[in-house]
Chain A
Amino acid sequence: MKTFRKILLGEEFNRATASIIAILIGLLVGFLVLLISNSAEALAGFKIILSGGFSTGAKGMGQVLYFATPLILTGLSVGFAFKTGLFNIGTPGQFIIGAFAAVYIGVTCTFLPAPLHWIAALLAATIAGGLWALIPGILKAYLNVHEVISSIMMNYIGMYLANYLTKSTIYDIRKAQSLNVADSAVLPKGGLDYIFYNDLGGVKDLSTVNSGIWIAIVVAILIYFIINKTTFGYELKACGFNQNASNYAGINAKRSIVLSMVIAGMLAGLGGGLLYLSGASGRHLKVVDMLAVEGFNGIPVALLGLSNPIGIIFSAFIIAYITQGGNYLQTLNFAPEVIDIIIACIIYFSAFALYFRKLLPFLIKKGRGDRQ
């Protein structure tokens, strides 16, 4: 009993509970919104959200994994920056620039053989994302520009730049989207085509999911290792806690800030590459004046995952799951934006984490005291 109580009062459990409360409140608000807008079908609509990817069988679950892949990476990007005391709101820009770099290499460099081609494309995405975050990093470290403002500006610049470059280099005018990447640049299926398909009378209706999800999980573990087990990660974290103290301890704080931003940007850029290197049935770059949603959704993913890389994997699944459910909502004439409302509420209430965290141990202790 004592160990049980110890777990209940422990830091990790406490923080995870705060996340779960935030998710529940978010879902509740979503249900209320459905109820107000169309009370007759609200329950059916809410069921669709909850059943998420399962609505369409194994293929649907595959799609959840496919859309969770970029979210893991952008979540890692935001979470890694959080750990080092920075708020990387620039993931949409880094993501889209990375995506463009990957697709560009995927379409043009056809002379490369299969594994090399997609590896090169992913590397390009990673580097491009890192470069895009380098600018806010330098501005923050050396010129005292708040990284939130500068990354927001970089988001818009990145969006317009990606639009312009896509239109002028790799555009398929008939389909109004980017050209398909070469087959050699499509990420291999990595065994997932044996699980995630729907059987249409002997024909396999394959999900888009590919080995990108394996790569994402490996990267998450790698980041966990870097943050928690290396001197380098420790230095970056120390700068997040107290710049002056780390300077005093002989850490180059300015260099650490720039490096943190660049690594965060590399993660977001890689996420862009993983989503878009997925063949004809996958996503294509579209020329629209809208910031990449996958980038912004990295923020709730990181918050729910408590900036812990392993937690981020799970929270990316959750967000992808309900987003997928939202897409099916249109069958009931509900606008899928209700999912964004839910996610916004989840972020809002996870900002209350500090309050929940103080409240929980208090309630648990009080409950015990009453019974004794």
Chain B
Amino acid sequence: MSILFLIFQQTMFFSIPLLIVALGGLFTERGGVTNIALDGMMIMGAFSGIFFINQMQGQMSGQLLLIMAILISTATGMVFSLLHAFASINMKSDQIISGTALNMFAPAFAIFVARMIQPNGVQQIQFTNTFRIESVPVLGDLPIIGGLFFQNAYITTYLGFVILIISVIVLYKTKFGLRLRACGEHPHAADSVGINVYKIRYAGVLISGALAGLGGLVFVVPTSTNFNATVSGYGFLALAVMIFGQWKPLRVLFAAFFFGLMKTIASTYSVIPFLATAAIPSDVYKMIPFIATLIVLAFSSKSSQAPRAVAIPYDKGSR
């Protein structure tokens, strides 16, 4: 039973960042701008947040430090995404090329800054994990549910669910959500009724940057004790999660858990009894999430429900 709990808790650690970042991708794509720079934005967010923790952990610790790091990561991701918004909305650039540039920039920047600032030119940024909640009071003692959700947890887990609920409400119950979706489907129609397509698209990209920056921190904190300028291709997995989730928040949740489980199997196979004895090399396990993604995409892309105007720069003059 304890192994089951362990696997479930691990799955949460891997799924929640995927969920948050995929929701970010969902917002920008529903607004009509594709963002393959999610990975780079995660790296920037994780870098600034972890660096903040590294610098401040002498003075403070625990949840307050984590919350401040969360705010910093979110802000960094948002500022970084401005570059993508400017290129793809104002300059009408190819959004894939702009995204590729940002994906290349982020790890180089993180390594460069870390090596220039830290003594001895070390590129890994160490941090002490003081954020784990052993057991939530009262709720942690509940049978089964307590073990699944309220033990060995992080506040970021609950934050992920909160973001999911807010996303559903914003997308489907508010004026902004309706306008965002309109700009992704038919920007000219939206423009004709007085919606400022550029503004709405900016908002979409900025939301994706904020969530990706946050997701980067959420990914690194529970799964590591140092940051090495990489999030293991998680931003790209999040894109796949978004496509598998057909650009709908609740299906994205389901998709994120599927991939989180795959990733968990890849990283914890040594404690799962029947897999530990199977003598399959670790590299094969590392491939699993990516192979699973390919297979899932192959079966779910035929009837794709991608926003119609995604990746097409909006030009008022064109028809």
Contacts and interface: CB of A to CB of B under 8 A. Distances in A.
Interface stretch (A1-9, A160-168, A257-265): A160-168
A344 B87 CA distance: 14
A89 interface: yes
A145 B239 CA distance: 12
Contact of B287 (A33, A37, A160): A160
A152 B291 CA distance: 11
B91 A347 contact: no
Contacts of A116: none
Nearest to B233: A156
Interface string A333-372: 1110111110111011011111100000000000000000
A144 B93 CA distance: 24
A150 interface: yes
Given A299-B100, A351-B91, A335 B115 contact: yes
Interface in B289-307: 290-291, 293-294, 297-299, 301-302, 304
The CB with the most chain B CB atoms within 10 A, among A163, A347, A351, is that of: A351
Interface string B81-99: 0010001000111101110
Interface string A137-151: 001000111101110
B105 interface: yes
B108 A145 contact: no
A303 interface: yes
B101 interface: yes
A164 B280 CA distance: 11
Contacts of A152: 233, 236
Given A89-B100, A351-B97, A139 B108 contact: no
A249 interface: no
Interface in B96-153: 96-98, 100-102, 104-105, 107-109, 111-113, 115-116, 121, 123
Contacts of A160: 283-284, 286-287, 290
A149 B108 contact: no
B297 A344 contact: no
Interface string B203-243: 00000000000000000000000000000110010011001
A44 interface: no
A242 interface: no
A26 B304 CA distance: 38
A280 to B, nearest CB: 27
A150 B284 CA distance: 18
A38 interface: yes
Nearest to A143: B298
A348 B103 CA distance: 10
A352 B83 CA distance: 12
Contacts of B294: 135, 139, 145, 150, 153-154, 157
- Secondary structure of the A side of the interface? helix
B183 interface: no
B36 interface: yes
B291 A347 contact: no
Interface in A267-320: 289, 296, 299, 303
A157 B283 CA distance: 9
B281 interface: yes
B235 to A, nearest CB: 10
A299 B100 CA distance: 9
Contacts of A156: 233, 287, 290
Contacts of B283: 160-161, 163-164, 167
Contacts of A161: 283, 287
A337 B101 contact: no
B209 to A, nearest CB: 15
Contacts, number: 133
Contacts of B102: 344, 348
A227 B108 CA distance: 35
Given A150-B294, A153-B294, A156-B233, A337 B301 contact: no
A319 B87 CA distance: 23
A337 B115 contact: yes
A190 B104 CA distance: 35
Contacts of A348: 83, 87, 98, 101-102, 105
A87 interface: yes
Nearest to A168: B281
The CB with the most chain B CB atoms within 10 A, among A87, A334, A338, A340, is that of: A340
Contacts of A354: 91-93
Given A152-B233, A337-B111, A354-B93, A343 B290 contact: no
Interface in A75-93: 87, 89
A161 B298 CA distance: 21
A343 to B, nearest CB: 7
Contact of B284 (A146, A148, A153, A164): A164
B292 to A, nearest CB: 9
B297 A345 contact: no
A349 B299 CA distance: 37
A30 to B, nearest CB: 11
Given A139-B294, A157-B291, A337 B108 contact: yes
Nearest to A348: B101
Contacts of A163: 283
B112 A33 contact: yes
Given A164-B281, A296-B104, A335 B97 contact: no
Interface of B: 36, 83, 87, 91-94, 96-98, 100-102, 104-105, 107-109, 111-113, 115-116, 121, 123, 232-233, 236, 239-240, 243, 281, 283-284, 286-287, 290-291, 293-294, 297-299, 301-302, 304
Given A348-B101, A352-B93, 20 more contacts: A33-B112, A38-B116, A87-B96, A139-B298, A149-B240, A149-B297, A153-B236, A153-B294, A164-B281, A303-B97, A333-B121, A335-B112, A337-B112, A341-B109, A345-B105, A347-B97, A347-B101, A348-B98, A353-B93, A354-B91
7 contacts: A153-B236, A153-B291, A161-B283, A340-B107, A344-B104, A348-B83, A351-B91
5 A-B pairs closest in CB distance: A340-B108, A344-B105, A348-B101, A164-B283, A347-B101
Interface of A: 33, 37-38, 87, 89, 135, 139, 143-146, 148-150, 152-154, 156-157, 160-161, 163-164, 167-168, 289, 296, 299, 303, 333-335, 337-341, 343-345, 347-348, 350-355
